[in-house]
Amino acid sequence: MKRLEDLDVAGKRVLVRVDFNVPLDEHQNVTSDARIVAAIPTLTALRDRGARLILMSHLGRPKGAVNDKLRMLPVAERLHELTGWPVRSAPEIIGPLVKDLALSLEDGEVLMLENLRFDPREEAGDAEFGAELAALGEVFVQDAFGTCHRAHASVARIPEHLPSAPGLLLAKEIDAFAKVLDHPERPFVAILGGAKVSDKLPVLENLLPRVDRLIIGGAMAYTFLKAQGKPTGKSLVEDDLIDEARRVLRDAEAAGKVLALPVDHVVSAEFRADSPHEVVTEIPDGMLALDIGPRTSELYAEHLKDAKTVLWNGPMGVFEMEAFRKGTEAVARAVANCKGFRCVGGGDSVAALELLGLDDAVDHVSTGGGASLELLEGKVLPGVAALQDAAS
């Protein structure tokens, strides 16, 4: 796969697939510009080399139809505010007017296309739509890691026509996950949380042969505890996966791997933020576990102390409710204090880090929940595969 520095971009129209799927308020103001900020290093590197930038992104879920509340103009304006660059906003995705705007770009100028998902062919991965997009540019840069697990036209089809490479953001993601999955320093400790074993079973199966210790938290832990014959009360358990959980436990033991499960729990009678709660070592009937307890937090922190590689995906409890946040906070601090390479993989674990103000305390925070999960499952992402097979 080519790198950004391998592309000849001076004086050329460079199509850049960015992830500017940012939240907007009722007045179409951007309420979080983190994804825009994350793309600026790639865009700066290209502008500094004389590229003429044509930016493409989706925004929300317009379902293949024009939706005035999901136009890209507010995003273009926010990019201008952040950078000071003139950013022109195209009224459409493709067509003669857009082609004229693209051809009129000067070195360093920026044009943002309209919301890709206004055209149903984007999500369908339509080859003709990909070719029409490619015709706007001369070079393609993929920097939207969060969409690389989707075989959409702007992700998988454009590289068929243009010299292509990952942007700095995507290259960082690829390198970080390669370091964790393919070349980890040991001990390698993975922490998996979240609600369901079914969501993480492929990840468990892919990671178990690679890790030295596997720490499990969140509601998914209770399927494993029930598989061990321990009481789980009203906690979320996937009864149809009890046998799978037993198999994972057996495989871990046979391979000499540590598989750590909660030894105490924060329980409540109801799933409510203000519901009375207590710490128990055995979950009573009628109670459900909503967080790991303090002894478990200490045990998990001990497993992380000497780790040289740490991968964390998923919270330890219902962290969005303050009463059930302490376990996730304890694990987040233990990860932050670890001296090894620390990679936090997308979704709720990133949200937890940000909530606790610890997102700058780790080595890599992934920008794509679904994409990072598929990498952890051992899948090849369509967006990355397309770059590997790109036109020269």
Question: Is the separation of the CB atoms in 124 and 153 below 8 Å?
Answer: yes
Q: Please state, in angstroms and rounded to a whole number, the distance separating the CA atoms of residues 92 and 115.
A: 8
pLDDT in tens, 130-186: 999 999 999 999 999 999 999 999 999 999 999 999 999 999 999 999 999 999 999
Mean pLDDT of the region 26-35: 91
Quickly tell me which residue has 């998914």 as its tokens. 220
Residue 376 one-letter amino acid: L
Q: Please state, in angstroms and rounded to a whole number, the distance separating the CA atoms of residues 320 and 272.
A: 11
Q: What is the pLDDT of residue 22?
A: 93
Q: What is the pLDDT of residue 346?
A: 64
Mean pLDDT of the region 96-122: 97
Q: What is the pLDDT of residue 345?
A: 82
Q: What is the pLDDT of residue 291?
A: 97
Nearest to 160 by CA among 120, 117, 126: 126
Mean pLDDT of the region 318-331: 93
Cβ neighbors of 321 (< 8 A, separation 6 or more) are 273, 290
Cβ atoms < 10 Å from Cβ of 96: 8
Beta strands in the chain (DSSP E): 13-17, 52-56, 87-89, 110-112, 139-142, 164-166, 188-192, 213-216, 258-260, 265-268, 277-280, 288-292, 309-313, 341-344, 364-365
pLDDT in tens, 53-88: 999 999 999 999 999 999 999 999 999 999 999 999
Distances 296 to 38, 41, 186, 235 between C-alpha atoms, Å: 35, 40, 23, 17
pLDDT bracket for residue 228 (50, 70, 90): very high
Distance of CA 271 to the CA centre of its chain: 27
Question: Is the separation of the CB atoms in 180 and 206 below 8 Å?
Answer: no
Above pLDDT 70, what percent of the chain?
Answer: 99
Q: Please state, in angstroms and rounded to a whole number, the distance separating the CA atoms of residues 91 and 128.
A: 20
Q: Please state, in angstroms and rounded to a whole number, the distance separating the CA atoms of residues 102 and 120.
A: 22
Q: Please state, in angstroms and rounded to a whole number, the distance separating the CA atoms of residues 299 and 186.
A: 19
Tokens of 30: 């951007």
Above pLDDT 90, what percent of the chain?
Answer: 89
pLDDT above 80: residue 264: yes
Mean pLDDT of the region 197-216: 94
Conformational region of residue 355, where left means phi above 0, alpha means psi within -120 to 50, and beta covers everything else: alpha
Q: What is the pLDDT of residue 74?
A: 97
pLDDT in tens, 340-365: 999 998 667 777 788 888 888 899 99
Quickly tell me which residue has 């233990």 as its tokens. 334
Q: What is the pLDDT of residue 347?
A: 67
Quickly tell me which residue has 């490619």 as its tokens. 134
Q: Which domains does the chain have, with CATH numbers?
A: 4-170 (3.40.50.1260), 184-376 (3.40.50.1260)
Q: Is 363 helix (H, G, I), strand (E, B) or coil?
A: coil
Mean pLDDT of the region 221-239: 96
Q: What is the pLDDT of residue 350?
A: 79
Q: Characterize the bridge pairing of strands 265-268 and 288-292.
A: antiparallel
Round the average pLDDT of the chain to a whole number and report it: 95
Active site amino acids: 35, 196, 347, 370
Q: What is the pLDDT of residue 195?
A: 86
